[in-house]
Amino acid sequence: MDKILVIGAAGQIGSELTLALRNIYGGENVFATDIKQAPQDIIESGPFQILDVMNEKNLIHFVIRNKITQIYHLAAVLSGNAEKLPLQSWEINMHGILNVLDIGREIGLKKIFWPSSIAIFGPTTPRVNTPQLTVMEPTTVYGISKLAGERWCEYYFRKYNLDVRSIRYPGLISYKTEAGGGTTDYAVEIFYDAVKTHSYECFLKEDARLPMMFMPDAIDSTIKLMEADAANLTIRSSYNLGGIDFDPKELAAEIKKHIPDFKITYAPDFRQKIAESWPASIDDSTAKKDWNCSYTYDLAKMTDVMLKETAKKLGK
C-alpha cells in the first residue's frame, strides 16, 4: 500500500486534497504535515504532524520512518506576498522543492506531485489561449521560482527517472481554507465580502481577465494526473490547465444575480500589474490529450456553490 506525505496540508489546496487522498488511500496512509495547525477534519481523519520542508534532515527522517512512497509538496509563498519579501520567498519556494526532489531520488520515491502556476508566464507570452509551450519570461519572484521549479522537476525526471508530475494551476477558488497573498485571490475575497457587507473593493481592474478554477475541479484534475499511466505523460515540466476565465466585472455580475444590491468598486494596487503579465485564458489541449482532464464547474455553478458555502461558514 502506498504511503503518502502531503506537505502544506493546512493550506488552500492541501486542506481539501488531503481529505480526497484519504478517501482513496485510507486515512492512516495519508500523512498530513504543515508548519501551522491543520483544520480539525484533517487532524481527525488521519495522522497530522508539524513539519518544516526546509529542514531536510527532519524531512528525510519522516519519510523513512513512515515508509513514504509518494509526496505531494504544496507549500509555497504566493505571488502578492512574495513581492513583499523577494529573496526569502525565493528561498522558501526553491529550497522546499529541491529538498523533496532530492529525497525522491535518494529514497526512490514512486511519485511526486508539485504545483506550478500560470505565473510562470509573463508579459511577452501570448495572453489569449496561452499554449503549453511558449515564451516564458515571468516578472514576479513567485513566477520565477515556479518556472525554475518546473525545470528542476523535468531535470530529475530525465536524469534520475523520478516520476514527478505537475499542473500549472489557474487561480484557485475555494471556501474551506482562505487563500493568502495571491493575485487571483480577489475571486475568493469577493465572496466573503459579498456575504458579509454586500460590497467589495477589488484590487484589480474590472477587465482583469484571468484563468480560474473551482477547487473541486482542481482536486479531481490532480488525482487524475497522479493516477494516469506514466507512459501517456508527454510533459514532465508542468501541464497547462484551463478551467474558466472571467474578469472581476463578470464575476460581480454573476454575484448580483444572487445578491441584487451587491456593489463592487475598484482600487487597483500592485497586483494589477501582475495580473496584466499573466494569461487571460489557457490552452490545455495537451492535458486533455494525455490524461483526459475535464471540468465540471462554469462561472454560474461555481458562484452558486461559493455563495451558499461562504454564507454557511459565516453563519449568514
Hey, which residues are catalytic here? 142
Out of 121, 142, 157, 297, the residue judged to bind ligand SER by CB under 6 A: 142
For residue 243, the surrounding DSSP H or E stretch is none
Residue 245 has what DSSP assignment? E
Shortest Cβ distance from residue 199 to ligand SER (Å)? Answer: 23
Residue 184 touching ligand SER (CB under 6 A): yes
Shortest Cβ distance from residue 27 to ligand SER (Å)? Answer: 29
Shortest Cβ distance from residue 72 to ligand SER (Å)? Answer: 16
Out of 46, 104, 149, 171, the residue judged to bind ligand SER by CB under 6 A: 171
Residue 182 touching ligand SER (CB under 6 A): yes
Q: Rank residues 62 and 278 by Cβ distance to ligand SER and give the closer one.
A: 278
Residues 37/40/42/47 CA torsion (nearest 10 deg): 70
Residue 79 touching ligand SER (CB under 6 A): yes
Residue 78 touching ligand SER (CB under 6 A): yes
Residue with grid cell 519519510, as numbered in its chain: 63
Question: Rounded to a whole number, what is the distance in angstroms from the first to the last CA of the chain?
Answer: 43
Q: Give yes or no for a contact between 14 and 74, defined as CB atoms under 8 angstroms apart.
A: yes
Q: Rank residues 22 and 209 by Cβ distance to ligand SER and give the closer one.
A: 209
Residue 105 burial by CB count (10 A; 0-12/13-18/19+): exposed, middle or buried? middle
Backbone angles phi, psi at 111, to 5 degrees: -150, 150
Stretch that binds ligand SER, among 56-64, 182-190, 222-230, 297-305 (CB under 6 A): 182-190
Output the CA angle 14-101-291, nearest 5 degrees.
65
Residues that bind ligand SER (CB under 6 A): 78-79, 117-119, 142, 169, 171, 182-184
